[in-house]
Structure 1
Amino acid sequence: MVNREVLPFETEPVSLKNVVSKYLKYWHLFVLSLLLCMGLAYVYLLYATPEYSIVSTIQIKDDKKDPGAAKADAFNDLDIFASTKNIHNEIEVLKAKSLMYRVLSELSMNASYFVEGPIKAKEVYVNYLPIKVAVRQFNPLAYDNQRIAINLEDKNTFTLKDAFGVKAYKIGQEIVKPYATFTVQPNLIAPASDIKYIEVKFNNLTKLANSYNSKLEVAPITKETNVLSITLTDAVPEKGKDIVNKLIEVYNKEAIEDKNSIATNTVQFIDARLRDLTGELSDVEKNVEKYRSQHALTDVQAEARLSLNNASEYTKSLTDWDVQINVLTSLENYLRRSGSRYGLAPSNLNIKDPTLLELVTRFNALQLERQRMLRTTQPDNPLVQNINEQLANLQTTMLENLKNIKGGLVIARNQLRSNLAQNTSRIQQVPSMERDLLEINRQQSIKQALYQYLLQKREESALSLAASVSISRVIDAPAAGDDPVKPKKPLIFFLAFVVGVGLPFAFVFIKDSFNERVQEFKDVELITAAPLLGEISHNDTRETLVVTDKSRSLVAELFRHNRANLQLATLGQDNKVILVTSSMAGEGKTFFSLNLASSLALAGKKVAVLDFDLRKSGLTQNLGIPNEKGISNYLASEVSSIDDILVSLQTVSGLYAIGSGPTPYNPAELILSPKVNEMMEELRERFDHIVLDTSPVGQVADALSLSPYIDSTIYLMRYNYTFKDQVNIIEDIYKNNKLKNLMMVMNDAKKLKGYGSYGYGYTEEKKVSWKMKYKNRANA
């Protein structure tokens, strides 16, 4: 005996065409998404406020590198003209919020102005409006981000509309509201304009400064230069240019103020010390005059000249040391004053010790930082308190350092005095009066030298105040671009296109990824190796029997294809009893069984279709024939002859049907009755083909009980209905041969194109190749 095994036909591999075809089924979704996203992008661009980029470049001057800086010998040791700028520090200063707040305050940006546009209100710079609002007091808590409307009646009157109603006022009249106290003034610098209706929004300068600060970009042009690029984006180019100009101006102004603050404090310190020295020097000169007058001293003895010359050298050295000690003593006394705690220490007193000079510089820098913070914060702010602690620590350190330096100088001075005493001992002949006069002259020279030194430094500090220049130079004045930088129309439309395509793509991908039902035959063939008999397209009609001698519909032709494939698959084999089952109800078993039987009958065969679903009958209901007697009656021996339950269908010649009969209480056991074998043997003798419409094998085991009586099995699946997990049932049946000659049929395939070109549910224009392969096997 020879058996022929049907192998699965070859299917097309996954290709770009298949993937594209999968998404082209949803072309209307892509078109709708693109139209929607492009429309939203267009609407967004209509209502979006365009912003323009304002760019300016400045050069930060370096006093040590700038050939134009002061180079006179008189300023060589003056710290104010000997600073080196750190470009990164200056960038942070320009981006400081406090600096931007001062800019907006000086520009009176307390209010923004809007006029009616074709689509929405448009902001206009105040310089182009006939009026301006001068805000004297503003309460942001009462009226933040709210607008008032001003309607100009004539040159002298206007009406104001706000949350409190509409009221008329005169130009120049002070208006007191809970949210602000302001005056509407005529704008004398504005050109002639016919604007009558203006909306005004009051601005919280702190929030506005934060907003502008976030849009401000300051960056060096290159790493090797001190040239900075300042970029600001604003919806009103003219306003943006004014802000950048004012920013540079205020930046220079604050730098000059810092310099002048140091110079002013130095001048005040020197003036106080000069007043003291003037009195002391006058007293010494009077003492000299009195001493000479009392002792009639006119000349020094000739024999003591050499020793006196040596003593003079020692005296000169002592004078230098005493000058330094006095300078340090004066600085120490200044630091110990209670009023100097938050005052700048003099930094240009020719302090030679580098450590002390660095401490003084740091002390002054912290003082300046504290003064800058106090402009915008309270004295009890933690940052201010932290600087206060640092200042106190630095003051203590400087006093300790002064004490140590002065101690070393005193030791050196005492050594000089000892040398002077030794020299004095060699001039025993010099009268004691001359020695007294020498001591007085020495005190006079010390005070005179200190007086001249302080007087020179005072002039230098005064010159620094008079010679204050800006620390930056504008290279390119602020200029706005012709085209807005925000929003970028090409980018917006590109993103809208990407989103418009991406959303449907993502929807289809996620839908398919999370869809647990069979979408295409690929979902089946990845799980089971069972062969595919064919496919049935979607039935658009409500008719149950679509295969008749006159039908030429697509569904009828596909049933004829399946009939031909079934004959090829069982060529040379006895294929009388065909069992039709599925995984669950609703997959079209009854529809397929009836129309397959009809297609076999139209081929000249005598065919019987049996409703072996004893639990839920559907065949007789679809055919419109009575079901009072059927298979359940025959198996229960309630009827003795098959003819009693056999019904001839007049629609198709040679087609007969047997209903299931009344639902029994034990359908599973009834199918195991020996009467089933008797009925099948008799039907085999009387009919060419017997089609068994059975219960879903994925839900009950009734169909498996009929396995001994069948020749082949058709397992029905339905696109977008059968679960992918249920394909494992087919693989189990096929692999373990629980039902003979199992073949699959895919039901409810969707039509893609005109008659003759159908994808059969998985690819466009894909034709199922019905070239079956046979493999002969010899059974022992």
Structure 2
Amino acid sequence: MANKQMDWDEEFVDEINSSDNNDFVRFFSKILSNWYWFAVCAIVGIVLAFFYLRFTVPTYTIRAKLLVSDERKGSGGLAGSALDDFSGLMGAKSSVDNEVEVLLTTDLMQEMVLADTSYIGYFTKGALRDEPIDVAPFRVQVLSNPMAIRSGIGFEISFGEDENLIFQDSDTSFNVRLSEPFMYPEVGTLRVERINAIDPTERYGFYVKPVHKAVSSFMQALEVSVTNKNVSTIDLSLNTSIPDRGVRQLNKLVQKYTDRNLNDKNVIADSTLSFIKTRLEAITIELAGVEDKISGYKQRTQLADMTEQSRLLLQNSSEYTKSLAEIDVQLSSLDAVLAYLKNPANPRVLPSSVMEQDLAFNGLITKYNSLVLERERLLLANTETNPLVLNADKQIAGLREDMISSLSSTKKNLELAKKKQSQMSVQLSSRIQEVPTIERGFIDLARLQQIKQAQYIFLQEKWEETAIGRTANVSNSKVIDSPRADEYPISPKGKIVYALALFFGLLIPVVVLYIKDLLNIRVVSIEDIKRTSRLPILGTISHSDDKEQVVITKSSRSAIAEQFRAMRTNLEFILNGGNRVLFTSSMSGEGKSYVALNLAVSLALLDKKVLIMELDLRKPSITSKLGLAVGKGFSQYVIRQDMRVEEIIMPSGKHENVDLIQAGAIPPNPAELLVSARATSLMHDLSERYDYILIDAPPIGMVTDAQLLSRYVDTCLYLVRQGYTYKEQLYIPNDLVAKNKIKPIHFVINDVKPRGGYYGNYGYGYGFGYGNYGEDRVVRPWWQFWKTK
């Protein structure tokens, strides 16, 4: 017996595992049976997507590309040319990463906003949304300082008679004259001018917002990036709802960037030219004085040709003179730069090309000039007491001290070199003491002339170089891909929006069905029974809207009648010669009496004598369902020994072959009556009189009466009602069979509502479909899809 029980359990586990493989098919059948919800949700999603696209203003991307002269990634515009040696005059070279940061500065964006008046916008009023436009038939001007705008405004404009304009918003309405300035609080002085003819079918409007808000919105819409680290290109993209205006704004931004870059270079070049010009004027005067002295000296002394010795001495002296001249030139430049640095006035840009021999000092000059230019930019929007300006002043002062220290050290070295050269020159002078005094005086004047002439030539060369560099000054970046708008908007993308709307429209019913299935605790399908219980299913009974308790007749061909006939056929096989059937369930209301009555009539149609025993002694219901008067029944027969069987048997009124034994009076001890000796003899006596005995018992999940009655029957039919019986209650009959407390049990599924889909016409066993073979089918109109019958 133990082995047999183990085999039964293993078979039950295999059956459950097999049924689990059909979960997907079962869930898919639910989707098919609820196809209309998917259609409705999909249509709703498409409609919502349509209105979303109609209400949303499309956004386009404007793209441009710059090429930056970066020594690390590519050659600049001067590389390899004759001007390459002078490129240091224009200041330090910027890398691509630095230029990206410059393009992302708020000051540069503010210049673009002010130049393009991007703080003013125009739109046309629409039924669903306001459509932004680039050009309106009128122009709004802010005559006061745009930076003083403190709050934004937006109005719809109507053009009235006599050049009157009507400004309207949700709260305000007022009139102004066309082309006449007017004052608006927290905005400033405005003026509206007509520039084109007005389309009477259009409704126009405009808005004005603070400059800092416009700058902030453009900073968020602008993206500057270096997409390829191997080249010195910068990609710019601007998101905007007006493509034409976006192209113009990005062009304006690039123009402001190149102008600022070129202006920085020009400031340094102009400062260098001014310094050299001042020095040239002074040296020219000094050189003219020396030449006048030489001319006068020759006239006074009547100096003619020098001797060969004088020529040689002059030649040697010239070399020392040239060396001393170079040192004097350097000292002169140092003195000028030191005087320039020690000037207590405000910081100014320092020339960068007067001391090419000192590379370290030139690096300090470049850094100093960058700080001075940065300080001037800060002063454009801040006061001198601003912490950023004070910090720049501090850095400039520190760098100035470093430069003065560096120049002082260089000056000492030059003075030592000059002293040594002078000593050598004295030694040479001692050798030419024999030269006539007149000739020696001429040599002194000639040496002074050479010194001044060398200074003049040096400064003249530098002036020419700087002037040429100033003329050839170009920005270190250029546009290689002009701003242009994408053909299609980046948002909203219609195809993606519709696809997402359709996807979520189809997903929502799936999720709802899945959650509903997870939260369902009642039996809704045959698969629920298969997963929970190992007991076989005898048949299924469809839902019936008929008010009659007995729905089967001799001529009936309805679906439910065929189901009772199919269950009758299966019952004959499982009885295997027996004739007593027990009806029970988990709780009241699952249709025991209904199924028992109709199955009895179905058996009677085979010309069999059938007896229905109403043995639910606690709550009898068959008598009332048949509309019969309450009379003597089972309880009286068991208690009264003198009562005969014929006294309690009565016709059912539903078929001549179907009889009924009522429950009788409700006893205080129904369990004892069911197992009494007189009840046992009654069962044996009735078995001989009738072909089938159908016993209606109380719910087995509530009382034990059904277990007591199981000793008299050959099989037990356990009623399960769809959508009513709890899944947990299915373990009750399974436990009864496993513990051998009752005869083999077969399930009967009652009140099954066809749902369509994969399981819509699915039945259990032969002939248990929901179809109505042989019966005319009523075709409903397509709009009545929600009906189940």
TM exceeding 0.5: yes
Alignment of 1:267-282 (within 5 A): 267=273
For residue 551 of structure 1, give the secondary structure of its aligned residue in structure 2: coil
For residue 612 of structure 2, give the secondary structure of its aligned residue in structure 1: strand
1:249 Cα deviation (Å)? 2.1
Alignment of 1:111-150 (within 5 A): 111-117=120-126, 120-126=129-135, 128-134=136-142, 136=144, 144=152, 146-150=153-157
After superposition, the Cα gap between the structure-2 partners of 1:143 and 1:209, relative to the gap in structure 1 and judged at 3 Å, is: closer
1:104 aligns with 2:126: no
After superposition, the Cα gap between the structure-2 partners of 1:766 and 1:304, relative to the gap in structure 1 and judged at 3 Å, is: same
After superposition, the Cα gap between the structure-2 partners of 1:587 and 1:77, relative to the gap in structure 1 and judged at 3 Å, is: same
TM-score (norm 2): 0.78
After superposition, the Cα gap between the structure-2 partners of 1:141 and 1:350, relative to the gap in structure 1 and judged at 3 Å, is: closer
Tell me, in whole angstroms, the C-alpha distance in 2 between the residues paired with 1:215 and 1:135. Answer: 27
For residue 77 of structure 1, give the secondary structure of its aligned residue in structure 2: helix
1:28 Cα deviation (Å)? 1.0
1:158 aligns with 2:158: no
For residue 593 of structure 1, give the secondary structure of its aligned residue in structure 2: helix
Q: Write the deviation string for residues 511-542 of structure 1: whole angstroms up to 9, x where unpaired.
A: 22343333332233233322121211122223
Q: Write the deviation string for residues 425-465 of structure 1: whole angstroms up to 9, x where unpaired.
A: 46546669999999999888767755654565455545555
**Paired residues, what number?**
752
For residue 50 of structure 2, give the secondary structure of its aligned residue in structure 1: helix
Tell me, in whole angstroms, the C-alpha distance in 2 between the residues paired with 1:668 and 1:288. Answer: 153
1:176 aligns with 2:183: yes
Q: Which residue of 2 aligns with 1:532?
A: 537
Q: Which residue of 2 aligns with 1:244?
A: 250
1:46 aligns with 2:89: no
TM-score (norm 1): 0.79
1:185 to 187, 192, 196: 192
For residue 743 of structure 2, give the secondary structure of its aligned residue in structure 1: coil
Tell me, in whole angstroms, the C-alpha distance in 2 between the residues paired with 1:508 and 1:381. Answer: 66
Q: Which residue of 2 aligns with 1:547?
A: 552
Q: Write the deviation string for residues 528-564 of structure 1: whole angstroms up to 9, x where unpaired.
A: 3221212111222233222343433212221121111
Tell me, in whole angstroms, the C-alpha distance in 2 between the residues paired with 1:297 and 1:510. Answer: 124
1:209 Cα deviation (Å)? 3.4
1:259 aligns with 2:259: no
**In 1, are the aligned partners of 2:585 and 2:719 still within 8 Å (CA)?**
yes
Query: Any stretches of 5+ residues in structure 2 without a counterpart?
Result: 769-789
For residue 76 of structure 1, give the secondary structure of its aligned residue in structure 2: helix
Q: Which residue of 2 aligns with 1:561?
A: 566
**In 2, are the aligned partners of 1:363 and 1:391 still within 8 Å (CA)?**
no
1:95 Cα deviation (Å)? 4.7
Alignment of 1:178-217 (within 5 A): 178-188=185-195, 190=196, 197-217=203-223
1:487 aligns with 2:492: yes
AA aligned to 2:241 is A
Q: Write the deviation string for residues 605-663 of structure 1: whole angstroms up to 9, x where unpaired.
A: 33333444455444344333455866566677799666665553111233334455666
**In 2, are the aligned partners of 1:547 and 1:595 still within 8 Å (CA)?**
yes
For residue 605 of structure 1, give the secondary structure of its aligned residue in structure 2: coil
Q: Which moved more, 1:29-38 or 1:740-749?
A: 740-749
1:33 Cα deviation (Å)? 1.3
Q: Which residue of 2 aligns with 1:776?
A: none
After superposition, the Cα gap between the structure-2 partners of 1:324 and 1:589, relative to the gap in structure 1 and judged at 3 Å, is: farther
Query: Any stretches of 5+ residues in structure 1 without a counterpart?
Result: 754-758, 773-780
1:27 aligns with 2:27: no
Tell me, in whole angstroms, the C-alpha distance in 2 between the residues paired with 1:698 and 1:325. Answer: 117
Q: Write the deviation string for residues 146-205 of structure 1: whole angstroms up to 9, x where unpaired.
A: 5212221247332333466433322222222224334333244x4675577422222333
Tell me, in whole angstroms, the C-alpha distance in 2 between the residues paired with 1:691 and 1:296. Answer: 164
For residue 549 of structure 1, give the secondary structure of its aligned residue in structure 2: coil
Q: Which residue of 1 aligns with 2:412?
A: 410
Alignment of 1:5-16 (within 5 A): 14=22
**In 1, are the aligned partners of 2:334 and 2:411 still within 8 Å (CA)?**
no
AA aligned to 1:152 is F
After superposition, the Cα gap between the structure-2 partners of 1:431 and 1:193, relative to the gap in structure 1 and judged at 3 Å, is: farther
Alignment of 1:308-707 (within 5 A): 313-314=319-320, 316-321=322-327, 323-324=329-330, 327=333, 331=337, 334-335=340-341, 339=345, 343-369=348-374, 371-372=376-377, 375=380, 384=388, 389=391, 392=394, 396=398, 399-400=401-402, 403=405, 406-407=408-409, 410-411=412-413, 413-414=415-416, 417-418=419-420, 420-421=422-423, 424-425=426-427, 427-428=429-430, 453=458, 456-458=461-463, 460-461=465-466, 464-474=469-479, 478-480=483-485, 486-572=491-577, 574-576=578-580, 578-626=581-629, 646-660=649-663, 677=680, 680-707=683-710
**In 2, are the aligned partners of 1:94 and 1:218 still within 8 Å (CA)?**
yes
Q: Which residue of 2 aligns with 1:714?
A: 717
AA aligned to 2:498 is F
Q: Write the deviation string for residues 253-293 of structure 1: whole angstroms up to 9, x where unpaired.
A: 22222222333444556567778x6699599969989x999
Q: Write the deviation string for residues 28-59 of structure 1: whole angstroms up to 9, x where unpaired.
A: 11111122122222223333334455455555
After superposition, the Cα gap between the structure-2 partners of 1:485 and 1:561, relative to the gap in structure 1 and judged at 3 Å, is: same
**In 1, are the aligned partners of 2:372 and 2:396 still within 8 Å (CA)?**
no
Tell me, in whole angstroms, the C-alpha distance in 2 between the residues paired with 1:412 and 1:668. Answer: 131
Q: Which residue of 2 aligns with 1:763?
A: 759
AA aligned to 2:212 is T
**In 1, are the aligned partners of 2:341 and 2:404 still within 8 Å (CA)?**
no
Tell me, in whole angstroms, the C-alpha distance in 2 between the residues paired with 1:140 and 1:698. Answer: 84
1:68 Cα deviation (Å)? 6.5
For residue 147 of structure 1, give the secondary structure of its aligned residue in structure 2: strand
Tell me, in whole angstroms, the C-alpha distance in 2 between the residues paired with 1:159 and 1:458. Answer: 63
Tell me, in whole angstroms, the C-alpha distance in 1 between the residues paired with 2:445 and 2:729. Answer: 121
AA aligned to 2:627 is G
Q: Which residue of 2 aligns with 1:778?
A: none
Q: Percent identity?
A: 29
AA aligned to 1:534 is G
After superposition, the Cα gap between the structure-2 partners of 1:81 and 1:666, relative to the gap in structure 1 and judged at 3 Å, is: farther
Tell me, in whole angstroms, the C-alpha distance in 1 between the residues paired with 2:503 and 2:166. Answer: 49
Tell me, in whole angstroms, the C-alpha distance in 2 between the residues paired with 1:741 and 1:26. Answer: 37
Tell me, in whole angstroms, the C-alpha distance in 1 between the residues paired with 2:91 and 2:497. Answer: 52
Q: Which moved more, 1:47-56 or 1:496-505?
A: 47-56
AA aligned to 1:424 is V
Tell me, in whole angstroms, the C-alpha distance in 1 between the residues paired with 2:116 and 2:331. Answer: 51
Tell me, in whole angstroms, the C-alpha distance in 2 between the residues paired with 1:633 and 1:358. Answer: 124
Tell me, in whole angstroms, the C-alpha distance in 2 between the residues paired with 1:180 and 1:166. Answer: 17
After superposition, the Cα gap between the structure-2 partners of 1:195 and 1:158, relative to the gap in structure 1 and judged at 3 Å, is: farther
For residue 590 of structure 1, give the secondary structure of its aligned residue in structure 2: helix
After superposition, the Cα gap between the structure-2 partners of 1:771 and 1:45, relative to the gap in structure 1 and judged at 3 Å, is: closer
**In 1, are the aligned partners of 2:549 and 2:625 still within 8 Å (CA)?**
yes
Tell me, in whole angstroms, the C-alpha distance in 2 between the residues paired with 1:687 and 1:538. Answer: 30
AA aligned to 1:238 is D
1:235 aligns with 2:244: no
Q: Which residue of 1 aligns with 2:786?
A: none
Tell me, in whole angstroms, the C-alpha distance in 2 between the residues paired with 1:477 and 1:207. Answer: 27
